[in-house]
């Protein structure tokens, strides 16, 4: 598979800042577009999110993230989908925050 972009892992300090800015509850579902190895979503679960969905282009990263979810015992709370972009129809409904790219929050709102 040709790569659309290279995967740049989010630094752990950036992940912590995100959750300081965005408190989560069991009622929240976190979507991560370009979820990579799932690190943001695993942190979201640790910070109280009820469920998480990762959307990723690279099947190898999806495989890694799925294995990690099983190892962490959270496979029932996080799901990884192979997808391309927000307009692909994979993400619909209401949400709080979408984090895209590893450089910060790309947008907030009530429609995802």
CATH number of the domain at 59, please. Answer: 3.40.50.150
15 within some domain: no
52 within some domain: yes
14 within some domain: no
Give the total number of structural domains in the chain.
1
55 within some domain: yes
Residue 82, SS3?
strand
CA atoms of 5 and 97, how far apart (whole Å):
22
Q: pLDDT tens digits, residue range 28-82? A: 999 998 899 999 999 999 999 999 999 998 999 999 999 999 999 999 999 999 9
11 within some domain: no
Please give the residue range of the domain that contains residue 89.
27-108
Cβ-contact 41, 35 below 8 angstroms: yes
Q: Which residues in 12-110 belong to E strands, given as ranges?
A: 29-33, 51-56, 78-82, 97-100, 107-108
22 within some domain: no
Tell me the chain's radius of gyration from C-alpha atoms.
13
State how far the alpha carbon of 25 is from the alpha carbons of 29, 44, 51, 85, 96, in Å.
Answer: 9, 10, 10, 26, 11
Cβ-contact 9, 37 below 8 angstroms: yes
4 within some domain: no
Q: pLDDT tens digits, residue range 6-36? A: 778 888 888 888 888 888 999 999 999 889 9
How far does the chain reach from its first CA to its final CA, in angstroms?
Answer: 28
pLDDT of residue 3: 57
45 within some domain: yes
């Amino acid at each position: 598979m040709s790569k659309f972009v290279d995967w740049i892992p989010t630094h752990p300090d950036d992940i912590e800042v995100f959750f300081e800015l965005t408190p989560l509850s069991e009622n929240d579902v976190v979507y991560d577009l370009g979820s990579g190895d799932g690190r943001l979503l695993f942190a979201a679960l640790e910070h109280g999110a009820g469920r998480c969905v990762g959307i990723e282009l690279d099947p190898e990263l999806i495989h890694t993230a799925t294995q990690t979810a099983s190892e962490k015992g959270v496979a029932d709370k996080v799901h990884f989908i192979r997808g391309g972009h927000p307009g692909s129809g994979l993400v619909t409904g209401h949400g709080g925050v979408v984090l895209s790219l590893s450089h910060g929050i790309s947008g907030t709102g009530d429609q995802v």
